[in-house]
């Protein structure tokens, strides 16, 4: 996978994870163009688009679009499953997740993604294990100095 | 702070105590900064963009001041806020160093946010890498698994080649860790390191194989991913891993036969993620290997028949299975099964599944056409799909399926499609129809009818080559001229403003064969009413005076009308009158024609009949004619998987699109610096593997060869020959992009040849042989505009003798600014290794005129085909 973007129906970026090195300017350009392209697509269209030399897979969950750019050799149907798995994890973690959860706790959303994927490849196929790792780290964060006033 | 709390801290030491004391002091000194959630609320409350900017600017200024004052208590909160601001698109690079300070802190919260910030704010291009390499090295040795995990995750995300080299041994050590959580992350880190620096593969090899004997799915899947990457990278490793086929088959078998396991179940399928990865690795191991393929036939059949297909997840696995069956040397029965799965996919309600089916069929069609032919009607149905990408795939596939048996029915459907198609499809589709018709038309009459229908249906979207093809065909088919001129007349009688190409063909034909139209034997009986000369003149008058028709169309019409004056029996007074009005036309070319043609009715009246005689049949052979069935136009980018496989596609993909801008940058750099060290090193690095293959007497390669050897010296030959330089930069940028995007093994290079040079258009062929496919020659055509005017609608076509197969990919552009370049990749399969010959045709518009030319290329060096 080359990158993953989460954005709202209004076109606001909610999360971006890049597994390829691009200059900031290019990242912004790609993000902008992809958001516009995807928002303009009609619901009856497939979840895949060929964009430049990338395969882009996207899926909408409520008001959020999840969008992944993958390599030519990657399985686009499986990418849909990966997106779905991520949504399930967010849902379990936040308890019926909504866009606001991801806005106000964006760092948590990144942490969860980083336990599911590493370097753009899936690292854990058990939901339980991902959530266990996250919970343990959250705990470690709380006890690291036992000082709850250091809240973000 | 309660000292007893320290007991929880796993990293409790003197540094931690110092940090606590310092922070306690600072907290008294510094005011508490705004919380992250409060900032987000404030930003969201902003009514206008200006208001939002004001909030953010204020906060950024504050955050900068805390950074200056080295506030370590609130650093992680401030960085978190900065990351949010960064996501909104504001600059946040000033937080980079602060992230490193967070990473160096003892507190887990700091590390977690610090690493997150590092992944977001730095990427492999940053200079702070030396610093972060040290932080990572420390944390990779931490006793807390989650600290090691964070470090591995970050390394996987932002590893640069230098970091990869520095930390590879640490990662290798962690791959052998007793902790599965660390092992799986280390395996993926190794995967990323190999992507960046393939030479590092060897140190990971011993630790890799044992990953497959795991029970833990996380370690298994990352292990399979790592092995896949290794196998794709080196043929030696590929053969080394052939022996794991039975292990993989066993793992897969256990997955599909084992009972329900809640932990890895997805809608009734056991760990689809792992299944797909294993299927893909099996595909790579079984490719071109009968023995390995034999070992996996059974399991593939089992997966293909036993997988539950009501949900996306089942189809995901089936899709991957089909790809594997098609790629390995599988039994024929299995292949039929695979194509039938795709046939079922085409009928699926889920558009995503229809899409992948078409894509896969397109790759398969050249391997097993007859199996795909069975699903022809379903594929034609997909031409009506609401999704444009499904339509595009279906169209490509339809053209791949056309043959002399089905051409009539296929063309009927495709013409219906052309008629209703979106503009973006019309040009490509009409050119493809013309090509198919040329290759497979059952007879002249049908061929002419088809071309006429294309001109009507595609209107102004028809490319110029269709106009000339049609005219040529009419000119050749002496027996059909009466018929076609009548058909064209009926088309012309209607309003044809939006069909300029049709009007051009029609006026040309009526001008030549007008006597057949008016006085010849009527071709169709139902048309009892004879057309009169006045009817014809009235239509021409409309054409010539309408402001909607282009100048080129009017040129056709004016010449045609003049020709008609010798075909008509009655008076020419009216014709002469119309022509005279052009004597004062604003357009100089038309005016000149008007004046000159007028003279033919006066001073040179006696010359007119002889001058305006019917053209003899045009004899120029069409380069894309029926005797060259391998010819393909630019528009048709049917993927020939048979000849090239996945790697071939990747190679090409690396060259276009995304990487393009980087390639351009490096082009410019190379030209400007003429070999400054940094750029040169890149080139050297990418070129090295191919060096032994290049022969010394090839001047082009010598230029680069010189670069390789003395990479610190400036290039003395840089200005010797402009074209060579241009070409070289282009070549090296290709390699740069290749290296960046897919680490493709570098191909054997041959010298380039100049295929065409005329009117300021220069076409150079860069030749390459792929080591893994000795029958194939890859030609990168680059056309350079050496004039001072832009060239538009640039179209390059090529044809080769029957014994070759030619595949052309899309050109990089159709517009050539002055000194600009267009590149296009051609792949030629030459199974007989006969001398390579090629006929090329170029067409483009420059300064308002369309230029068409063709040439033979037979100066291919013997190394390119022997």
Q: Is B722 on the interface with A (CB under 8 A)?
A: no
List of chain A residues whose C-beta atoms are within 8 Å of the C-beta of residue B143: none
Position B45 scores a pLDDT of 95
> Which tokens hold the place of A67?
């969008």
- Residue B145 · residue A140 · CB < 8 Å: no
Contacts of B218 (CB under 8 A, 6+ apart): A123, A124, A125, A126, A129, B180, B181, B184
Task: Measure B345 CA to nearest chain A CA, in Å.
Answer: 13
pLDDT (tens digit, 0 to 9) for every residue of chain A, 152 residues total?
999 999 999 999 999 999 998 888 999 999 999 999 999 998 888 999 888 888 999 999 999 999 999 998 899 999 999 999 999 999 999 999 999 999 999 999 999 999 999 999 999 999 999 999 999 999 988 876 555 446 78
Distance CA B347, CA B381 (A): 10
- Residue B784 · residue B758 · CB < 8 Å: no
Contact B657 A54 (CB under 8 A): yes
List of chain B residues whose C-beta atoms are within 8 Å of the C-beta of residue A81: 266, 272-273, 312-313, 316
- Residue B81 · residue B98 · CB < 8 Å: no
- The SS3 assignment for B266 reads strand
- The SS3 assignment for B599 reads helix
Place of tokens 């990572």: B136
pLDDT one-digit tens code per residue, B609-637: 888 888 888 776 554 444 444 433 333 33
Cα–chain center distance at B783 = 19
Query: Shortest CB distance from B146 goes to which of A77, A82, A137?
Result: A137
- Residue B795 · residue B836 · CB < 8 Å: no
Burial of B837 (0-12, 13-18, 19+ CB in 10 A): middle
Contact B352 A16 (CB under 8 A): no
Contacts of A26 (CB under 8 A, 6+ apart): B661
Contacts of B632 (CB under 8 A, 6+ apart): B435, B638, B806, B807, B808
The DSSP call for residue B494 is S
Contact B1 A145 (CB under 8 A): yes
> Which tokens hold the place of B313?
């997840």
List of chain A residues whose C-beta atoms are within 8 Å of the C-beta of residue B107: 144-145, 150
Distance CA B133, CA B166 (A): 8
- Residue B505 · residue B488 · CB < 8 Å: yes
DSSP per-residue string spanning A99-150: HHHHHHTHHHHHHHHHHHEETTEE----HHHHHHHHHHHHHHHHHTTS-TT-
Instruction: Give the residue from chain A lying closest to B150, CA to CA.
Output: A114
Q: Write out residues 402-431 of B within 8 Å (CB-CB) of A.
A: none
* Residue B728 belongs to some domain of the structure: no
* Residue B230 belongs to some domain of the structure: no
Q: Is B738 on the interface with A (CB under 8 A)?
A: no
Instruction: Give the residue from chain A lying closest to B147, CA to CA.
Output: A137
The residues facing B756 across adjacent strands are B763
Residue to test with chain A: of B102, B128, B156, most A Cβ within 10 A:
B156
Query: Shortest CB distance from A81 goes to which of B112, B156, B272?
Result: B272
pLDDT one-digit tens code per residue, B356-401: 999 899 888 887 788 888 889 999 999 988 888 889 889 999 999 9
Residue to test with chain A: of B189, B316, B326, B359, most A Cβ within 10 A:
B316
Burial of A48 (0-12, 13-18, 19+ CB in 10 A): buried
Cα distances (angstroms) measured from residue B646 to each of A70, B327, B360, B793: 15, 9, 12, 31
Position B522 scores a pLDDT of 64
* Residue B791 belongs to some domain of the structure: yes
Burial of B840 (0-12, 13-18, 19+ CB in 10 A): buried
Q: Write out residues 108-127 of B within 8 Å (CB-CB) of A.
A: 108-109, 112-113, 116, 119-120, 123-125
Contact B80 A53 (CB under 8 A): no
Which residues of chain B are under the pLDDT cut of 70? 1-13, 25-30, 124-126, 522-529, 571, 620-749
* Residue B738 belongs to some domain of the structure: no
- Decide if the complex's ipTM is over 0.95: yes
- Structural domain including B780 reads 750-864
Contact A72 B649 (CB under 8 A): yes
Query: Shortest CB distance from A107 goes to which of B113, B146, B217?
Result: B113
Identify the CA nearest to B303 among candidates B288, B324, B286: B324
CATH of the domain at B794: 2.60.40.1230
Contact A81 B280 (CB under 8 A): no
The residues facing B796 across adjacent strands are B842
Distance CA B552, CA B504 (A): 8
List of chain A residues whose C-beta atoms are within 8 Å of the C-beta of residue B9: 143-146
Task: Measure A53 CA to nearest chain B CA, in Å.
Answer: 5
List of chain B residues whose C-beta atoms are within 8 Å of the C-beta of residue A76: 352, 356
Identify the CA nearest to B1 among candidates A68, A20, A42, A148: A148
Place of tokens 């061929």: B447
List of chain A residues whose C-beta atoms are within 8 Å of the C-beta of residue B263: 126-129
The DSSP call for residue B816 is B
List of chain A residues whose C-beta atoms are within 8 Å of the C-beta of residue B8: 143-144, 146
Distance CA B373, CA B404 (A): 13
Q: Write out residues 160-189 of B within 8 Å (CB-CB) of A.
A: 160, 181, 184-185, 188-189
Query: Shortest CB distance from B312 goes to which of A81, A118, A151?
Result: A81
Task: Measure B548 CA to nearest chain A CA, in Å.
Answer: 33
Instruction: Give the residue from chain B lying closest to A72, CA to CA.
Output: B650
Contact A123 B653 (CB under 8 A): no
Instruction: Give the residue from chain B lying closest to A116, CA to CA.
Output: B218
Kindly list the structural domains of chain A, giving each domain's residue range(s) and its CATH number in brackets, ordered by start.
Answer: 3-147 (3.30.450.60)
* Residue B445 belongs to some domain of the structure: no
Cα–chain center distance at B697 = 34
Q: Write out residues 62-91 of B within 8 Å (CB-CB) of A.
A: 73, 76-77, 80, 83-84, 87-89
* Residue B708 belongs to some domain of the structure: no
Residue B222 phi/psi, 5° resolution?
-70, -35
List of chain B residues whose C-beta atoms are within 8 Å of the C-beta of residue A126: 217-218, 263-264
Calculate ∠ Cα B636-B642-B645, nearest 5°: 95
Q: Write out residues 92-151 of A within 8 Å (CB-CB) of B.
A: 103-104, 106-107, 110-111, 114, 118-119, 121-129, 133, 136-137, 140-141, 143-147, 150-151
- Residue B377 · residue A37 · CB < 8 Å: no
* Residue B412 belongs to some domain of the structure: no
Contact B184 A140 (CB under 8 A): no
Distance CA B207, CA B780 (A): 41
Cα distances (angstroms) measured from residue B486 to each of B16, B449, B618: 96, 12, 20
- Residue B863 · residue B747 · CB < 8 Å: no
Task: Measure B146 CA to nearest chain A CA, in Å.
Answer: 7
Name the CA dihedral angle for B497, B502, B505, B508, rounded to a multiple of 10 degrees.
Answer: -30
Position B26 scores a pLDDT of 66
Q: Is B314 on the interface with A (CB under 8 A)?
A: no
Contact B189 A119 (CB under 8 A): yes
Position B559 scores a pLDDT of 92
Q: Write out residues 40-99 of A within 8 Å (CB-CB) of B.
A: 42, 44-50, 52-54, 72-73, 75-78, 80-82, 85
* Residue B43 belongs to some domain of the structure: no
Distance CA B424, CA B434 (A): 17
Residue to test with chain B: of A144, A148, A149, most B Cβ within 10 A:
A144
The residues facing B857 across adjacent strands are B838
**Tally of structural domains, chain B:** 1
List of chain B residues whose C-beta atoms are within 8 Å of the C-beta of residue A110: 116
Query: Shortest CB distance from A125 goes to which of B20, B218, B315?
Result: B218
Query: Shortest CB distance from B123 goes to which of A18, A107, A114?
Result: A18
């Amino acid at each position: 996978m080359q990158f993953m973007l989460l954005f709202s129906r209004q076109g606001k970026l909610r999360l971006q994870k890049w597994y390829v090195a691009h200059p900031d300017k290019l990242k912004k350009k790609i993000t902008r163009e992809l958001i516009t392209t995807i928002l303009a697509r009609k619901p009856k269209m497939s979840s895949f688009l060929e964009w430049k030399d990338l395969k882009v897979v996207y899926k909408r969950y409520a008001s959020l679009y999840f969008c992944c750019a993958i390599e030519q050799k990657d399985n686009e149907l499986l990418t849909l499953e990966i997106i779905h798995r991520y949504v399930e994890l967010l849902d379990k973690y936040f308890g019926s997740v909504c866009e606001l959860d991801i806005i106000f706790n964006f760092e948590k959303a990144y942490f969860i993604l980083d336990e599911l994927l590493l370097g753009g490849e899936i690292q854990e196929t058990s939901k339980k294990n991902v959530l266990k790792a996250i919970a343990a780290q959250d705990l470690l964060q709380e006890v690291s100095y036992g000082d709850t006033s250091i809240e973000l | 702070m309660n000292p007893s709390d320290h007991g929880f801290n796993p990293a409790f030491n003197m540094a931690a105590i110092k940090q606590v004391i310092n922070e306690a002091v600072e907290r008294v000194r510094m005011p508490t900064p705004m919380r992250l959630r409060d900032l987000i609320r404030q930003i969201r409350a902003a009514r206008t963009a200006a208001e939002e900017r004001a909030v953010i600017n204020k906060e950024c200024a504050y955050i900068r001041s805390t950074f200056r004052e080295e506030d370590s208590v609130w650093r992680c909160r401030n960085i978190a806020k900065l990351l949010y601001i960064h996501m909104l698109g504001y600059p946040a690079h000033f937080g980079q160093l602060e992230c490193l300070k967070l990473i160096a802190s003892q507190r887990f919260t700091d590390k977690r946010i610090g690493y997150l910030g590092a992944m977001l704010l730095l990427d492999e291009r940053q200079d702070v890498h030396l610093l972060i390499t040290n932080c990572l090295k420390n944390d990779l040795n931490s006793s807390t698994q989650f600290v090691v995990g964070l470090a591995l995750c970050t390394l996987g995300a932002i590893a640069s080649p230098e970091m990869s080299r520095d930390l590879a041994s640490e990662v290798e050590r962690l791959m052998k860790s007793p902790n599965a959580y660390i092992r799986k992350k280390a395996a993926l880190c190794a995967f990323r390191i190999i992507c960046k620096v393939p030479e590092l593969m060897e140190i990971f090899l011993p630790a890799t194989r044992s990953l497959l004997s795991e029970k833990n799915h996380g370690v298994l899947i990352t292990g399979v991913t790592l092995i896949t990457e290794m196998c794709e990278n080196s043929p030696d490793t590929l053969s080394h891993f052939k022996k794991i086929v039975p292990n993989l088959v066993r793992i897969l078998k256990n997955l599909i036969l084992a009972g329900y396991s809640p932990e890895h179940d997805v809608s009734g399928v056991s760990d689809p993620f792992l299944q797909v990865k294993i299927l893909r690795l099996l595909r790579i191991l079984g490719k071109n290997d009968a023995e390995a393929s034999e070992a996996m036939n059974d399991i593939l059949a089992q997966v293909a028949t036993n997988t539950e297909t009501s949900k996306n997840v089942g189809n995901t696995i089936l899709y991957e299975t089909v790809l594997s069956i098609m790629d390995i040397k599988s039994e024929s029965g299995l292949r039929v099964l695979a194509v039938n799965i795709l046939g079922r996919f085409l009928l699926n309600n889920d558009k995503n599944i229809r899409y992948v089916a078409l894509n896969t069929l397109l790759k398969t069609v050249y391997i097993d056409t007859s199996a795909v032919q069975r699903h022809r009607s379903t594929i034609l149905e997909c031409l009506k799909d609401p999704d444009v990408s499904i339509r595009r795939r279906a169209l490509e596939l339809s053209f791949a399926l056309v043959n002399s048996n089905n051409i009539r029915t296929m063309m009927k459907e495709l013409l219906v499609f052309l008629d209703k198609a979106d503009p973006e499809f019309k040009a490509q589709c009409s050119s493809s129809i013309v090509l198919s018709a040329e290759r497979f038309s059952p007879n002249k009459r049908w061929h002419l009818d088809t071309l006429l229908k294309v001109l009507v249906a595609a209107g102004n979207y028809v490319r110029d080559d269709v106009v000339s093809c049609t005219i040529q065909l009419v000119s050749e088919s002496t027996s059909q001229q009466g018929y076609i001129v009548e058909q064209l007349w009926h088309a012309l009688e209607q309003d044809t403003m939006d069909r300029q190409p049709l009007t051009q063909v029609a006026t040309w034909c009526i001008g030549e064969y007008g006597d057949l139209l008016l006085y010849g034997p009527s071709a169709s009986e139902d048309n009892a009413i004879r057309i009169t000369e006045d009817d014809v003149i009235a239509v021409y008058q409309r054409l010539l005076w309408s402001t909607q028709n282009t100048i080129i169309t009017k040129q056709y019409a004016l010449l045609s009308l003049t020709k008609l004056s010798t075909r008509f029996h009655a008076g020419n007074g009216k014709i002469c009158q119309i022509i005279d009005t052009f004597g004062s036309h604003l357009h100089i070319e038309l005016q000149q024609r008007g004046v000159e043609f007028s003279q033919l009715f006066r001073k040179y009246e006696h010359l007119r009949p002889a001058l305006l005689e019917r053209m003899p049949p045009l004899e120029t052979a069409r380069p894309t004619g029926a005797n060259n069935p391998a010819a393909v136009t630019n528009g048709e980018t049917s993927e020939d998987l048979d000849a090239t496989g996945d790697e071939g596609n990747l190679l090409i993909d690396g060259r276009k699109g995304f990487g393009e801008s980087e390639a351009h940058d490096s082009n410019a750099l190379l030209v400007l610096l003429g070999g400054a060290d940094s750029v040169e090193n890149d080139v050297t690095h990418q070129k090295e593997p191919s060096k032994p293959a290049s022969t010394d007497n090839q001047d082009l390669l010598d230029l680069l060869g010189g670069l390789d050897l003395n990479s610190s010296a400036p290039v003395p030959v840089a200005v010797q020959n402009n074209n060579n330089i241009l070409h070289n930069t282009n070549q090296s940028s290709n390699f740069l992009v290749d290296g960046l995007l897919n680490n493709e093994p570098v191909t054997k290079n041959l010298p380039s040849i100049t295929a065409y040079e005329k009117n300021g258009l220069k076409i150079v062929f860069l030749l390459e042989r792929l080591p893994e496919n000795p029958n194939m020659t890859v030609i990168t055509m680059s056309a350079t505009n050496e004039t001072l005017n832009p060239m538009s609608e640039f179209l390059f076509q090529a044809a080769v003798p029957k014994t070759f197969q030619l595949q052309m990919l899309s050109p990089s552009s159709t517009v050539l600014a002055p000194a600009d370049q267009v590149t296009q990749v051609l792949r030629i399969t030459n199974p007989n290794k006969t001398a390579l010959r090629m006929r090329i045709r170029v067409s483009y518009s420059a300064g308002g005129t369309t230029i068409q030319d063709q040439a033979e290329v037979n100066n291919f060096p013997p190394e390119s085909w022997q």
